[in-house]
C-alpha cells in the first residue's frame, strides 16, 4: 500500500497535535518535543520523543550534564545531542519478538533496525550508533552495512514508517471494535530514566501480564502501577531484559523494553497509535512525571559516570 | 536456455569528471553510483554489480556498504559485487556483510568472489602476492563451507582455524547467491564447478566466443561430477548512446585514458583508435546504439548459453550524466531488444 503523501497527512496530524498539546501541555517536560507523523487510513500516529539526557542535565544535574556522559562513553558528538545506540535484538531498539511471541529472524531484526533508525532521523535524534556483535541473540555483525542502508531523508522516514507499522495497523483494524487505543512503546531503559515516559490507560477491560524479570503479575493493573513495578524490577535486577505485555480483550498491547546495567545513556522513544476517535482516545492517555526515586537514581548514575 | 537471460550492469565507481572537466571527489562518485543504481532499478535492469578496488581512479573499496545504500532506495534490482577480492579479505567478514545486505535488501544480495585483476589489496591488507593461489583456494573453501549456514569447523594456513562456530546473521531464505568470477584460468573454471557455484566470466577483450571452451569445460565438469549445471554469466565493458557513432565518440577519449593508465602499469602499449574500433566491431566492447549493443549481447549469450550478461557501463572519467543516459537506454531499449532476439 502506498503511503499517503506527506502534505495530505499533515492536516489531521496538526489537528491531533493541537489536541495533544491541550491535553498534555502542562505536564510535558520542557525539553520534550512533539513530532507528528503520518496519517493513513483511519489511523493517526503521533510519536513523542524525549531527550532524557538533556532533560536530566537541565533539571537535575546541570553541573554534571550530558557532556560528561558523552565523553565518558567516548562518543564523538555534541553533548546536547540525543544519542541512540543499537545492538540488534534483545536490548535493541525495536521489538525483539514478533506479534506471536516467537523470535524473529535475524534478517527481520536488521530490517526493523533500519526502519526504526530511519524514523529517528525525522524525530530529532542526532546520532545513531550500531554495535557489532557475533552472537545468535544480537543480529548485527556488520554495522557499516546496516548503517548504509539507513536512509536519511524525512520523506523516507514517512514512507518507511508506514511499512514498519503496517502490521500493527492491520492488527488494530482487526480487533478495533472495543479497542480504545494501542500504544507501541519501544525503549531502552537505563537506570530509571524511563520514568519520564508515560502511563497508558487502555480501559477497564485491560489485563496486564508481566513476563521475564518482573515477577509480579497483577491482573488488571493500571499502567502507572506497571511502571512502578517495573522500577522495582530494575532496581532488583539491573541489566536483565524486561518485557511485558498488556492485553485488552481483543487487542494485544505489546510493550517491550530492555535494561542494561551501567549504561548511563538512554533514549526514550515512545509512539502511540490511536484509533479514529482521536479526541475520545486522547482522554485515555495520561502522562506522569518521574517518581522522585528515579530522579535520585539518575543523579547517582550521572555522578558515577562522570 | 532454461531461464530467461538476466541483464545487469557493473561499475567500479570510476572517478568521473564534473561539468567543468575536473575530476569529482570519490564521495560524489559514490553518491552518483547510488543514483545510477536507482535509475537502473526503476527501468527494469536485473542486477547491479559494484567492483572492489583500492585505487585512486576507482571509488569503491567497500562494495557491501554502497550496495546497502542502494538497497535502501531500490525495490527489485539484485545487488552484487563485481568482484569481491576474497583473497585479501576475511571470508567470514565478507559473509557477514553480504548476509546483512541480503537482510536489508529482502534477499537481493549476490556475491561474486574473485582474485581480482588488480593487486593493490595485497600489500594494503598485508598479504603476499606469492600466496595469490593459496589465499583464494583456502578462502573459497571456507566461504563455501559458510554457505551451508551450519556450524563451521575449518582449518587452513591462511587464517585461524574454526571449531564448531556459527556466523551471524544467517541468510533468511535459502543460501547466499555466490558466483565465482573468472578471468581466463581453466583451473578457476573447474574450481567453480567443484564448489557447485555459478561462473562469471570476465571478458574484457577479444572475440567473446573464444570463451566457449571455458563454458564447455565448466559444463563438462558438472557432467563428470554428476550434478546439474549452474548458470554462466559474462561481464564485459560497454556503452550505449543514441547512435553507433555517438557512442564511440563519447566513449573513446575517456576509455583510452583509462586503458592507457592501467596498461602502463601492466606493460601494455597505449591504445590506438584502430584497436578500439576493432574491439567495438568484433571484440568485447559493447558500444553503440541500442540495436548494435543488443545484437552483440544476444550473440554472446547464444554462443555461450548465458544466464546473465552484465555490462560494465562506467569508463574512467566519462561523465555521470552520460552514464545515466547509457543506463536509461540499456534498460529501456537494449534489454527488450535482447529478449526479443533471444525469444
Nearest to residue B274, comparing CAs of B250, B254, B252? B252
A→B contacts (Cβ < 8 Å), by residue, are 105-111, 114, 133-136, 138-142, 144-151, 156
Contact residues, chain A, for B104 at CB < 8 Å: 110-111, 114, 145-146, 149
Q: Which of A108, A136, A141 sits opposite B100 (nearest CB)?
A: A141
Find which of A117, A149, A153 to mutate to test the B interface (most B CBs within 10 Å of its CB). A149
Please give the full DSSP string across B271-285, using - where no structure is assigned. PPHHHHHHHHHHSS-
Render pLDDT for A102-116 as a digit per residue (tens, 0 to 9).
777 889 888 877 876
Nearest to residue B211, comparing CAs of B181, B233, B184? B184
CB B191 within 8 A of CB B222: no
Taking an 8 Å cut-off on Cβ atoms, the answer to whether B96 and A142 are in contact is yes
Q: Which of A109, A134, A148 sits opposite B65 (nearest CB)?
A: A148
The residue segments making up the domain with residue A169 are 6-305
Q: Which of B69, B104, B167 sits opposite A111 (nearest CB)?
A: B104
Question: What is the reported pLDDT for A197?
Answer: 26
In this predicted structure, which of A70-84, A145-159, B97-111, B261-275 has the lowest mean pLDDT?
A70-84
C-alpha span between B329 and B335 (Å, rounded): 9
Nearest to residue A171, comparing CAs of B134, B343, A179, A140? A179
Nearest to residue B114, comparing CAs of B145, B141, B92, B140? B140
Angstrom CA distances, A135 to A87, A101, A150, A274, stand at: 11, 20, 22, 37
pLDDT exceeds 60 at position A31:
no
Could you give the number of structural domains in chain A?
1
Contact residues, chain B, for A133 at CB < 8 Å: 168
B→A contacts (Cβ < 8 Å), by residue, are 62, 64-69, 71-73, 93, 96-97, 99-106, 166-172
Taking an 8 Å cut-off on Cβ atoms, the answer to whether A111 and B103 are in contact is yes
In this predicted structure, which of A113-122, A166-175, B113-122, B253-262 has the lowest mean pLDDT?
A166-175
Residue B200 DSSP symbol: E
pLDDT exceeds 70 at position A171:
no
**β-sheet bridge partners, residue A271:** A47, A184
In this predicted structure, which of A178-192, B192-206, B310-324 has the lowest mean pLDDT?
A178-192
Residue A11: CB atoms within 10 A of its CB come to 10
Cell of B328: 536509461
Could you identify the residue written with the cell 557432467?
B223
Contact residues, chain B, for A139 at CB < 8 Å: 103, 168-169
Contact residues, chain B, for A108 at CB < 8 Å: 103, 172
pLDDT exceeds 70 at position A247:
no
Residues A22-28 have a mean pLDDT of 37
Q: How confident is the model at residue A134 (pLDDT cuts 50, 70, 90)?
A: confident
Contact residues, chain B, for A163 at CB < 8 Å: none
Nearest to residue A88, comparing CAs of A40, A146, A21, A45? A146
Shortest alpha-carbon distance between residue A112 and chain B (Å) = 9
State the count of interchain CB pairs (< 8 A) between A and B.
84
Taking an 8 Å cut-off on Cβ atoms, the answer to whether A106 and B69 are in contact is no
Residues contacting residue A271 through CB under 8 Å, at least 6 positions apart: A45, A46, A47, A48, A183, A184, A185, A186
Residues A118-132 have a mean pLDDT of 61
pLDDT exceeds 90 at position B233:
yes
Taking an 8 Å cut-off on Cβ atoms, the answer to whether B172 and A107 are in contact is yes
C-alpha span between B12 and B316 (Å, rounded): 9
Taking an 8 Å cut-off on Cβ atoms, the answer to whether B72 and A151 are in contact is yes
Contact residues, chain B, for A105 at CB < 8 Å: 170, 172
Asked whether residue A1 is domain-assigned, the answer is no
Find which of B90, B100, B111, B151 to mutate to test the A interface (most A CBs within 10 Å of its CB). B100
pLDDT exceeds 50 at position A156:
no
Residues contacting residue B1 through CB under 8 Å, at least 6 positions apart: B301, B305, B306, B307, B342
Residues A49-62 have a mean pLDDT of 31
Q: Which of A133, A135, A146 sits opposite B104 (nearest CB)?
A: A146
Taking an 8 Å cut-off on Cβ atoms, the answer to whether A114 and B169 are in contact is no
pTM of the full predicted structure? 0.67
Render pLDDT for A87-106 as a digit per residue (tens, 0 to 9).
332 223 333 456 666 777 88
**Helix segments in A123-266, DSSP class H:** 143-148, 154-174, 223-236
ipTM of the complex: 0.92
**For residues B332 and A41, which has the higher predicted lDDT (pLDDT)?**
B332
Render pLDDT for B171-192 as a digit per residue (tens, 0 to 9).
999 999 999 999 988 999 999 9
**For residues B231 and A210, which has the higher predicted lDDT (pLDDT)?**
B231
C-alpha span between A267 and A127 (Å, rounded): 11
Note the Cα B131 to chain centre separation in Å. 23
CB A90 within 8 A of CB A123: no
Beta strands A181-189; A127-130: pairing state: unpaired
Residues contacting residue B133 through CB under 8 Å, at least 6 positions apart: none
Nearest to residue A174, comparing CAs of A283, A248, A97? A248
Asked whether residue A154 is domain-assigned, the answer is yes
**β-sheet bridge partners, residue A152:** none
CATH assignment of B6-342, among 3.20.20.30, 3.30.1050.10, 3.10.450.50, 3.90.550.10: 3.20.20.30
Return the SS3 of B233: strand
C-alpha span between A2 and A160 (Å, rounded): 10
Residues A12-41 have a mean pLDDT of 34
Angstrom CA distances, A108 to A98, A141, A167, B57, stand at: 10, 14, 13, 37
Secondary structure, 3-state, A179-192: CCEEEEEEEEECCC
pLDDT exceeds 70 at position B28:
yes
Question: What is the reported pLDDT for A122?
Answer: 52
pLDDT exceeds 90 at position A35:
no
Q: Which of B69, B167, B169 sits opposite A149 (nearest CB)?
A: B69
Taking an 8 Å cut-off on Cβ atoms, the answer to whether A148 and B69 are in contact is yes
In this predicted structure, which of A108-117, A147-156, B25-34, B214-223 has the lowest mean pLDDT?
A147-156
C-alpha span between B71 and B75 (Å, rounded): 7
Share of chain A above pLDDT 90, in %: 1
Q: How confident is the model at residue A119 (pLDDT cuts 50, 70, 90)?
A: low
The secondary element (H helix, E strand) that includes residue A286 is: strand A285-286
pLDDT exceeds 90 at position B104:
yes
In this predicted structure, which of A97-101, A229-233, A274-278, B12-16 has the lowest mean pLDDT?
A274-278
Residue B178: CB atoms within 10 A of its CB come to 25
C-alpha span between B38 and B32 (Å, rounded): 10
Q: Which of A133, A138, A145 sits opposite B97 (nearest CB)?
A: A145
- CB environment B260-293: b (16+ within 10 A), e (fewer): eeeeeeeeeeebeeebbeebbeebbbbbbbbebb
**For residues A115 and B339, which has the higher predicted lDDT (pLDDT)?**
B339
CB B220 within 8 A of CB B293: no
pLDDT exceeds 60 at position B148:
yes
Cell of A89: 535484538
Shortest alpha-carbon distance between residue A138 and chain B (Å) = 9
The secondary element (H helix, E strand) that includes residue B196 is: none
Question: What is the reported pLDDT for A42?
Answer: 18
Question: What is the reported pLDDT for B112?
Answer: 98
Could you identify the residue written with the cell 550505449?
B240
Residues A130-134 have a mean pLDDT of 80
CB B110 within 8 A of CB B63: no
Contact residues, chain A, for B168 at CB < 8 Å: 106, 133-136, 138-139, 141
Render pLDDT for B32-88 as a digit per residue (tens, 0 to 9).
999 999 999 999 999 999 999 999 999 999 999 999 999 999 999 999 999 999 999
Q: How confident is the model at residue A67 (pLDDT cuts 50, 70, 90)?
A: very low
Question: What is the reported pLDDT for A73?
Answer: 34
Amino acid at each position: 500500500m502506498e503511503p499517503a503523501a506527506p502534505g495530505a497527512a499533515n492536516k489531521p496530524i496538526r489537528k491531533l497535535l493541537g489536541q495533544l498539546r491541550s491535553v498534555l501541555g502542562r505536564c510535558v517536560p520542557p525539553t520534550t518535543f512533539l513530532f507528528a507523523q503520518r496519517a493513513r487510513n483511519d489511523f493517526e500516529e503521533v510519536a513523542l520523543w524525549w531527550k532524557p539526557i538533556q532533560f536530566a542535565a537541565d533539571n537535575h544535574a546541570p553541573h554534571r550534564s550530558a557532556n560528561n556522559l558523552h565523553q565518558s562513553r567516548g562518543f564523538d558528538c555534541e553533548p546536547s545531542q540525543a544519542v541512540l545506540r543499537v545492538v540488534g535484538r534483545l536490548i535493541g531498539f525495536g521489538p525483539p519478538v514478533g506479534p506471536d511471541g516467537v523470535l524473529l529472524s535475524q534478517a527481520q531484526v536488521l530490517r526493523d533496525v533500519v526502519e526504526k533508525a530511519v524514523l529517528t532521523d525525522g524525530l530529532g535524534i542526532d546520532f545513531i550508533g550500531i554495535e557489532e556483535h557475533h552472537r545468535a541473540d544480537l543480529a548485527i555483525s556488520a554495522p557499516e552495512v546496516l548503517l548504509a542502508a539507513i536512509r536519511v531523508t524525512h520523506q523516507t522516514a514517512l514512507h518507511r514508517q508506514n511499512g514498519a507499522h503496517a502490521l500493527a495497523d492491520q492488527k488494530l483494524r482487526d480487533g478495533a471494535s472495543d479497542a480504545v487505543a494501542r500504544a507501541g512503546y519501544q525503549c531502552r531503559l537505563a537506570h530509571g530514566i524511563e520514568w519520564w515516559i508515560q502511563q497508558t490507560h487502555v480501559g477497564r477491560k485491560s489485563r496486564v501480564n508481566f513476563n521475564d524479570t518482573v515477577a509480579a503479575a497483577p491482573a488488571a493493573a493500571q499502567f502507572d502501577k506497571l511502571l512502578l513495578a517495573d522500577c522495582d524490577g530494575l532496581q532488583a535486577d539491573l541489566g536483565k531484559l524486561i518485557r511485558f505485555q498488556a492485553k485488552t480483550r481483543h487487542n494485544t498491547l505489546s510493550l517491550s523494553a530492555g535494561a542494561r546495567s551501567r549504561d548511563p545513556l538512554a533514549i526514550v522513544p515512545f509512539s502511540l497509535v490511536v484509533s479514529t476517535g482521536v479526541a475520545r482516545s486522547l482522554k485515555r492517555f495520561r502522562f506522569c512525571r518521574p517518581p522522585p526515586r528515579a530522579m535520585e537514581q539518575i543523579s547517582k548514575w550521572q555522578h558515577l559516570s562522570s | 536456455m532454461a531461464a530467461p537471460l538476466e541483464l545487469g550492469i557493473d561499475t567500479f565507481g570510476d572517478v568521473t569528471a564534473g561539468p567543468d572537466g575536473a575530476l569529482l571527489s570519490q564521495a560524489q562518485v559514490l553518491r552518483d553510483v547510488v543514483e545510477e543504481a536507482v535509475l537502473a532499478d526503476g527501468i527494469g535492469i536485473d542486477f547491479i554489480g559494484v567492483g572492489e578496488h583500492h585505487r585512486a581512479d576507482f571509488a569503491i573499496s567497500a562494495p557491501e556498504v554502497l550496495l546497502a545504500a542502494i538497497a535502501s532506495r531500490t525495490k527489485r534490482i539484485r545487488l552484487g559485487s563485481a568482484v569481491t577480492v576474497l583473497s585479501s579479505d576475511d571470508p567470514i567478514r565478507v559473509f557477514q556483510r553480504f548476509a546483512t545486505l541480503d537482510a536489508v535488501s529482502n534477499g537481493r544480495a549476490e556475491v561474486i568472489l574473485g582474485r581480482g585483476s588488480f593487486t593493490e589489496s595485497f600489500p594494503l591488507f598485508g598479504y603476499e602476492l606469492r600466496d595469490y593461489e593459496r589465499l583464494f583456494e583456502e578462502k573459497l573453501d571456507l566461504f563455501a563451507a559458510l554457505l551451508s549456514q551450519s556450524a563451521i569447523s575449518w582449518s587452513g594456513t591462511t587464517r585461524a582455524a574454526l571449531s564448531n562456530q556459527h556466523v551471524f546473521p544467517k541468510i533468511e531464505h535459502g543460501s547466499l547467491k555466490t558466483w565465482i568470477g573468472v578471468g581466463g584460468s581453466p583451473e578457476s573454471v573447474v574450481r567453480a564447478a567443484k564448489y557447485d557455484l555459478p561462473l562469471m566470466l570476465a571478458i574484457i577483450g577479444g572475440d567473446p566466443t573464444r570463451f566457449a571452451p571455458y563454458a564447455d569445460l565448466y559444463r563438462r565438469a558438472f557432467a563428470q561430477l554428476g550434478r546439474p549445471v549452474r548458470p554462466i554469466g559474462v561481464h564485459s565493458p560497454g556503452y550505449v548512446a543514441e547512435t553507433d557513432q555517438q557512442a564511440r565518440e563519447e566513449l573513446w577519449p575517456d576509455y583510452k585514458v583509462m586503458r592507457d593508465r592501467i596498461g602502463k602499469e601492466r606493460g601494455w602499449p597505449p591504445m590506438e583508435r584502430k584497436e578500439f574500433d576493432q574491439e567495438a566491431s568484433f571484440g568485447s566492447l559493447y558500444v553503440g546504439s541500442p540495436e548494435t549493443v543488443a545484437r552483440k549481447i544476444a550473440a554472446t549469450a547464444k554462443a555461450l548459453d548465458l544466464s546473465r550478461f552484465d555490462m560494465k557501463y562506467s569508463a574512467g572519467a566519462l561523465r555521470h550524466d552520460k552514464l545515466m543516459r547509457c543506463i536509461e537506454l540499456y534498460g529501456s531499449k537494449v534489454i527488450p531488444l535482447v529478449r526479443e532476439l533471444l525469444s
